[in-house]
Chain A
Amino acid sequence: MPVPKTPVQNTITITDDCFLSLCTGGKAQLMKIAIASGKGGTGKTTVAVNLALAIEEVQLFDCDVEEPNCNLFLEFELEPVEEVICLVPEINPDMCTLCRNCSSFCKYNALAALPNKILSFPALCHGCGGCSFVCLAGALKEKPRPIGMIEKASPESSLTFICGTLNIGEAMATPVIRSLQRHIDENRPVIFDSPPGTACPVLSVMGYADYCVLVTESTPFGFHDFLLALEAARALKVPVGVVLNRDGLGDSRVEEFCRAEGIPILLRIPNDKMIARLYSEGTPFVKEMPEWKKKFEDMFETIKALACKNTGV
């Protein structure tokens, strides 16, 4: 790890071992960590995959269901677990009284009431079931529509890895993420590789986590989107720590901000040629650079302590 350009005052030092062991003994085993960022391409998947490989007995969930790419680095054999479905309305025109209750109820505008019939637009339907609830004629039935797939790594894999994929052309990532989260084993720590941005899919991941790691780089774009993601995490009251990726690149704006706000910088991944080369070859760098295993393990211990004390935000 390179020497930081400026003195870091917000590095975490844990002194109270008794306190730590007291709280990590129970809750930490169930720890759920979301690896997020505002900006895309900051290194979420890199951090999630390397962290998962560094610590043992952890479950890795690829929640970036629009473009799940953890397995590009893991290369596990995947087995189908379940098809994700959305319940969409099916209208029986013989029973429909054209009362328009369904179409005026639908907040997503998935139903249109024409003077002589109701048209449905399944791609816009969020599957809330409200339309069939308000249909007094009983003309609406719900039918399943596949929107995505959940897969898991075969049992002989070195890591418990579960991955969701949204079908091509589908718009709703959140139901796939929700289905994915139903496969969590509550007895072991979880790492979520989150989608980028700050929209519904990200919130469904952050909101399910005990701790949120924001991966960023200290560039104008990286900092801008980091602030958006931070705002989202704070709204959800999830404690936050930062991983500075490509450290040495750009400026020191993220670091200065974190110092002023008391946000811990958990790890710095330098803008290193070897790391970049391994990434380009699809190799998680903890495998080839064993000194990083320890750094990720330390980061995990720090997160456990911080989440337990509920500091960071």
Chain B
Amino acid sequence: MKICISACGKDPDSEVDPQFGRCNYFVIIDPDIGSVTSIKNPGSEASGGAGIRAAEAIAGAGVNTLLTGSVGPNSFSILSEAGIETCSGIRGTVAFALREYQAGKLAVLESPNASTHSGIKKS
């Protein structure tokens, strides 16, 4: 079971980044075998279609569950198509977000919760 968290850095102590398409890294944790890996988000510097590139990358990495903040319509359609469960409401560090998910505190997204380009507006 691979769980992916959108983050500012590469490891479990990094702060999460709630902007799915524009975050810097995806930290991928498999609690069953205790592995932690990370991938650079190819969407972070895209001029457009950032969420599409981001969703493509985590689908390619074989992720089962995504923990993030906001997901736009384009990325949501890819995540659904790839069968990736998406939960929103992450805060704190990557490790903290994982614990919150495991405690059942993060809501599963049934539809996109952001408009396109909303990730560009982050400061």
Contacts and interface: CB of A to CB of B under 8 A. Distances in A.
B120 interface: no
Given A115-B82, A119-B81, A121-B52, A109 B46 contact: yes
Contact of A115 (B46, B47, B48, B60): B60
B23 interface: no
A103 interface: yes
Contacts of A112: 52-53, 55-56, 59, 78
Interface residues of A toward B: which range? 10 to 19
Interface residues of B, number: 18
B46 A114 contact: no
A114 B82 contact: yes
Contacts of B62: 115
B19 to A, nearest CB: 16
A115 B50 contact: no
Pick from A103, A108, A121 the residue with the most CB of B within 10 Å.
A121
Contacts of B43: 109
Contacts of A115: 59-60, 62, 82
Contacts of B46: 109
A124 B60 contact: no
Contacts of A110: 49, 52
A119 B48 contact: no
B59 A109 contact: no
A116 B59 CA distance: 10
Contacts of B81: 114, 117, 119
